Amino acid sequence: MSIEAKRRRRDERIVYEVRLRDPTGHEYSRTFETRKAAEAYQAEQRVQRTRGTWVDPRRAEVTFEEEAMTWLAGDPTKRGSGLARDESIVRNHLLPAIGDRPLGSLTPRDVQNLVTSWSRHAAPRSVRRQYGVLTAILNQAVESDLIGRTPARGVRLPRLTEARKPHVVSAGELATLADALGPR
């Protein structure tokens, strides 16, 4: 790990490049406007490696759409209507909103804004189902070490309304209905 001062070609300003190696030995770098920011980034990377929480920042460039398609194809236990429902949610609600975004660019605020927009047009149970698919995809991204933390944390969901209790027909009501229908 090293920090090197360089002169940027487009405006001749001094920038600071942090050069790092991932656990497999491949080099990657990131550039900062100030030495202080570069040192903070380098220190953060060291701490994450020591704790075992380091995630290759280049992997966070995978788009949400790519990870969603991997998630849909990756569950052999899901069949029939459940798979069709999840594909529909991905196709109609997730991809139009965040499909082209890199996973690393998604924030909790982005997810909250998405849930809020769904709440304007859909019932609370539908919003929760859509959010469930979104969180499953993002959790898979965390488990695959594409991102360090899910941006779907701390999201406020709409409250579920109480379901109406079904009317149970009494014996008297059933007899009245049978009489009204006649012998045929």
Q: What is the spatial distance between Cα 95 and Cα 71, in angstroms, rounded to a whole number?
A: 13
Give residue 137's pLDDT band: very low, low, confident or very high (50, 70, 90).
very high
pLDDT at position 1 over 70: no
Question: Looking at per-residue confidence, does 135 or 28 come out higher?
Answer: 135
Lowest mean pLDDT among 15-24, 53-62, 93-102: 53-62
pTM recorded for the entire structure:
0.70
- 143: how many CB neighbours lie within 10 A of its CB? 9
| Helix/strand/coil (H/E/C) assignment for every residue in the chain | CEEEEEECCCCCCEEEEEEEECCCCCEEEEEECCHHHHHHHHHHHHHHHHHCCCCCHHHHHCEHHHHHHHHHHCCCCCCHHHHHHHHHHHHHHHHHHHCCCEHHHCCHHHHHHHHHHHHHHCCHHHHHHHHHHHHHHHHHHHHCCCCCCCCCCCCCCCCCCCCCCCCCCCHHHHHHHHHHHCCC
Average pLDDT value over all residues in the chain: 90
- Tokens 């491949």, residue? 26
Question: Looking at per-residue confidence, does 90 or 23 come out higher?
Answer: 90
Among 32-36, 78-82, 143-147, name the most confident range.
32-36
Distances (CA, A) of 87 to 69, 94, 105, 110, 119: 9, 10, 23, 21, 20
Where do the CATH 1.10.150.130 domains begin and end in the chain? 60-143
Rounded average pLDDT over 58-70: 91
Question: Looking at per-residue confidence, does 167 or 91 come out higher?
Answer: 91
Rounded average pLDDT over 147-168: 88
At 9 the pLDDT is 86
Rounded average pLDDT over 154-165: 86
Q: Taking phi first (over 0 means left), then psi (-120 to 50 degrees means alpha), and beta for anything else, what does residue 42 get?
A: alpha
Give residue 150's pLDDT band: very low, low, confident or very high (50, 70, 90).
very high
At 139 the pLDDT is 96
CATH number of 60-143: 1.10.150.130
